[in-house]
Chains A and B, each alone.
Chain A
Amino acid sequence: MSYEKKGVAVSHGFVSGNIILINQARTIVEKKKITKSEIYTEINRLQTALELSLKEISELKNSSSYGLKSEHIDILDFNILVLEDEILVSEVIQKIKKELINAEWALNSVLTDKSKNFSKVKDLYMQERLADFYYIAERLIKNLRGKSESSIEFKKNSILLAHDLSPLDALKYCQNSNVVGLIMDLGGPTSHTAIIARSLNLTSIMSLGDLSHQLPPGQKVYVDGYKGIVSWQLKKDEKEEMIKLDKEYKILEENLLEFSKLSSVTKDKFKIFTKANIEIVSEINSAIRYGAEGIGMYRTEFLFTSTDRFPTQDEQFDNYINLLSSNHFDEVTIRTLDIGGDKLATQGEDEINPAMGVRGIRYSLANVEMFADQIEAILRVCNTTKKKIKILLPMVSTIEEIIEANEIINNINMKYKLNELFEIGVVIETPSAALITKEISSKVDFISIGTNDLIQYVLAADRNNKDLRSIWNYYQPSIIKMLYNIVTSVENNKYVSVCGEMASNLLSLPIFVGLKVNELSMNSHSIPIIKSAMNELEQHYCEDVLKECLKMSRHSEIENYLKETINSNIQKAKSVIKYEF
């Protein structure tokens, strides 16, 4: 019998290979099959690790130098009792014997089961005992391994399967050239682990439910990172089907690479830059591969949240300078920190509604030192490289915010006196900013329309809410009108870019061409399709399409009309992206 499981494709590609199962609660645990003759060895290892852990804790308890308080002693006693818990030990041993698995995995799964009981209990005290469990498990696993870090052996065509993998571990494991895919129970397209996978050009599917409990290590699987499907135990004809699919995808990739060389102009030679949104510097490689004409938005959140503290000015300098040192791009756009209380667990109290809380420029202006550091790091890079950087301010809703930010930036620039080398722009992503685009554009050098947030704020609909699918879409008349109003109220023909996923949406392309925006910035992989489609569109014709759309009052009407427009005008791009419809 054959199986398949659907998740969310976060990094395109098609690979097949054998599963390497990795568990990372806090410690990485690998599931290994053992033979019957190894059972005794595994049990011995478990006993040794238990004894060693007990010894460590007893030593800690008896050493006066730590100045232990009675509550510490209680915690240590609790640890000792758990380690001496014969029921626990016998359950682990049973698991090793019955399932023929390594001691680490058996221990980890028994403890996970036990902790599930605890997490059901709504008692703070019990919840805290959970933390103790993890602590004990970690110590045991460390001792099971001895001193050496776990060495997972990656055979050729390994596909990593994890419940959840941290970005750092993903980086650690996935750089191994034998690893060809990463699939996970958790995570999604915007998770940092997904970004790492994309930057490494590693096929990846996430949100796969409980797949890590379903697949044994070593299982041969097919990972379709276009459709987001993992399949295994295939019959002969299904395997042949997969080989055919693999070929199709290879042709698709060839086509994309062909399209990536095109220049992004319309049939009647109207130029719109197609640039890449990136989140980590190494994503530049994939931007270059797919023909990006620049970095349209470098998001700095990953840089700020990947460790437990904010990066220093020097660390930021070292990071930003890499963007310009590849020599592929003469200018880049850096978005200042777009972060809110929801992403910074360590900062203050929880906000009731983080999407409308202290985030983006609001956060930066409330933490001026941090903001000044970021700006100075950027200006220092301009000063050193003599290349242009466009600074993009997120989540602006009032003119005062722009004035305040400008003042801070200009003050810092007094030291460097960089005149033409940097520009300041604003992300138009709140309805307020959209309504005062005219005033905003008179105060800055360029604007960028942040479609993701703008759409959700204008429609008052969360894009992730499945029940609001009929409301949240790109083709709502209010969205088209909003875009039209923004672009037509920009003063003095200042530069307008569009970032956010709508910029990569093929059906929306005639709208943006009709609006004569200057730049579309999107995920690298979408650039070839958009370039190719643009080549087949006429700017003047798109202006008419836009006019028609502005007359329509229902989103389904607009969507159908745009579908027709694409169907009758676009040939090349349409033939290769059938999988996306």
Chain B
Amino acid sequence: MVKTLKLINKLGLHARASSKLVEISNKYISDIFIEYNGLKVNAKSILGLLSLAASYGTEIKIHIEGTDSSDALNELENLINNKFGESE
């Protein structure tokens, strides 16, 4: 399952946002990958996510494959659309 989402939090995929993304991804057994700018990295790796350096206003693609994929996508979608819980 693939879904494209826009990063609307001010800092983009910086350390704290990536940390949250990894935390949530790790809860699921599905394979989760994030694609950005021609690069595809494992969403369960903080190093991978950071190396994307995806910034504010850009679009990322989430690839999810597995038995709990729809729940995972739901929660990740919520996270991103809620600006990773950042106040700004």
Chain A residues within 8 Å of B, Cβ to Cβ: 74, 77-78, 81-82, 85-88, 114, 117-118, 121, 123, 125-126, 129
Contact A81:B22 (CB < 8 A) given known A74-B16, A86-B44, A88-B45: yes
Stretch at the interface among B1-9, B47-55, B65-73, B75-83: B47-55
A118 vs B53: C-alpha distance when bound (angstroms) = 8
Q: Does B61 contact A (CB under 8 A)?
A: no
Query: What B residues does A114 contact at CB under 8 A?
Result: 47, 51
Nearest residue (CB) in B for A83 is B46
Q: Does B42 contact A (CB under 8 A)?
A: yes
Instruction: Let me know if B44 and A82 touch, CB within 8 A.
Output: no
Task: Kindly identify which residue among B44, B45, B51 contacts A118, using a CB–CB cutoff of 8 Å.
Answer: B51
Query: What B residues does A77 contact at CB under 8 A?
Result: 19
Task: Kindly identify which residue among B42, B46, B51 contacts A81, using a CB–CB cutoff of 8 Å.
Answer: B46
Which of A81, A88, A114 has the most chain B CB within a 10 Å cutoff?
A81
- Apart from A87-B44, A114-B51, list 12 A-B contacts with CB within 8 A: A74-B16, A78-B19, A81-B22, A81-B46, A82-B46, A85-B46, A87-B48, A88-B47, A121-B51, A123-B55, A126-B50, A126-B53
Query: What B residues does A88 contact at CB under 8 A?
Result: 45, 47
Instruction: Let me know if A129 and B15 touch, CB within 8 A.
Output: yes
Q: Does B40 contact A (CB under 8 A)?
A: no
Say how far B82's CB is from chain A's closest CB, in angstroms.
Answer: 19
Question: Majority SS of interface residues in chain A?
Answer: helix
Instruction: Let me know if A87 and B50 touch, CB within 8 A.
Output: no
Query: What B residues does A74 contact at CB under 8 A?
Result: 15-16
Say how far B52's CB is from chain A's closest CB, in angstroms.
Answer: 9
Say how far A370's CB is from chain B's closest CB, in angstroms.
Answer: 41
Say how far A58's CB is from chain B's closest CB, in angstroms.
Answer: 15
Query: What B residues does A129 contact at CB under 8 A?
Result: 15, 50
A78 vs B53: C-alpha distance when bound (angstroms) = 16
Instruction: Let me know if A123 and B16 touch, CB within 8 A.
Output: no
20 pairs, A vs B, C-beta closer than 8 Å: A74-B15, A77-B19, A78-B15, A78-B46, A81-B22, A81-B46, A82-B46, A82-B47, A85-B44, A85-B45, A85-B46, A86-B45, A87-B47, A88-B45, A88-B47, A114-B47, A121-B53, A123-B55, A125-B11, A126-B50
Query: What A residues does B45 contact at CB under 8 A?
Result: 85-88
Q: Which of B5-27 contact A (CB under 8 A)?
A: 11, 14-16, 19, 22
Query: What B residues does A125 contact at CB under 8 A?
Result: 11, 14
Say how far B15's CB is from chain A's closest CB, in angstroms.
Answer: 5
A82 vs B11: C-alpha distance when bound (angstroms) = 20
Instruction: Let me know if A85 and B53 touch, CB within 8 A.
Output: no
Query: What A residues does B11 contact at CB under 8 A?
Result: 125
Chain B residues within 8 Å of A, Cβ to Cβ: 11, 14-16, 19, 22, 42, 44-48, 50-51, 53, 55
Query: What A residues does B42 contact at CB under 8 A?
Result: 87
Across chains A and B, which 7 residue pairs bring their CB atoms closest together, nearest first?
Answer: A87-B45, A117-B51, A121-B53, A81-B46, A78-B15, A87-B42, A85-B45
Contact A85:B19 (CB < 8 A) given known A123-B53, A125-B14, A126-B53: no
Say how far B80's CB is from chain A's closest CB, in angstroms.
Answer: 18
Nearest residue (CB) in B for A117 is B51
Say how far B28's CB is from chain A's closest CB, in angstroms.
Answer: 14
A126 vs B54: C-alpha distance when bound (angstroms) = 11
Query: What B residues does A82 contact at CB under 8 A?
Result: 46-47
Nearest residue (CB) in A for B55 is A123
Total of A-B residue pairs, C-beta within 8 Å: 41
A118 vs B41: C-alpha distance when bound (angstroms) = 14
Query: What B residues does A117 contact at CB under 8 A?
Result: 51
Instruction: Let me know if B53 and A81 touch, CB within 8 A.
Output: no
A121 vs B51: C-alpha distance when bound (angstroms) = 8
Say how far B55's CB is from chain A's closest CB, in angstroms.
Answer: 8
A126 vs B14: C-alpha distance when bound (angstroms) = 8
Query: What A residues does B50 contact at CB under 8 A?
Result: 118, 126, 129
Nearest residue (CB) in B for A74 is B16
Nearest residue (CB) in B for A78 is B15
Query: What A residues does B16 contact at CB under 8 A?
Result: 74
Say how far A126's CB is from chain B's closest CB, in angstroms.
Answer: 5
Nearest residue (CB) in B for A133 is B47
Query: What A residues does B53 contact at CB under 8 A?
Result: 118, 121, 123, 126
Nearest residue (CB) in A for B45 is A87
Query: What A residues does B15 contact at CB under 8 A?
Result: 74, 78, 129
Nearest residue (CB) in B for A82 is B46
Query: What B residues does A123 contact at CB under 8 A?
Result: 53, 55
A162 vs B44: C-alpha distance when bound (angstroms) = 34
Instruction: Let me know if B47 and A85 touch, CB within 8 A.
Output: yes
A437 vs B20: C-alpha distance when bound (angstroms) = 70
Say how far B27's CB is from chain A's closest CB, in angstroms.
Answer: 14
Query: What A residues does B44 contact at CB under 8 A?
Result: 85-87
A81 vs B45: C-alpha distance when bound (angstroms) = 8
Nearest residue (CB) in A for B39 is A117
A125 vs B48: C-alpha distance when bound (angstroms) = 16
Which of B15, B19, B48 has the most chain A CB within a 10 Å cutoff?
B15
Say how far B9's CB is from chain A's closest CB, in angstroms.
Answer: 14
Query: What B residues does A86 contact at CB under 8 A?
Result: 44-45
Say how far B22's CB is from chain A's closest CB, in angstroms.
Answer: 6
Say how far B36's CB is from chain A's closest CB, in angstroms.
Answer: 12
A74 vs B20: C-alpha distance when bound (angstroms) = 12
A82 vs B45: C-alpha distance when bound (angstroms) = 8
Say how far A88's CB is from chain B's closest CB, in angstroms.
Answer: 6
A114 vs B42: C-alpha distance when bound (angstroms) = 14
Nearest residue (CB) in A for B41 is A87
Nearest residue (CB) in B for A128 is B15
A495 vs B46: C-alpha distance when bound (angstroms) = 67
Query: What B residues does A81 contact at CB under 8 A?
Result: 19, 22, 46
Nearest residue (CB) in A for B53 is A121
A10 vs B11: C-alpha distance when bound (angstroms) = 48
A81 vs B44: C-alpha distance when bound (angstroms) = 10
Which of B42, B48, B50 has the most chain A CB within a 10 Å cutoff?
B50
Query: What B residues does A85 contact at CB under 8 A?
Result: 22, 44-47
Nearest residue (CB) in A for B43 is A87
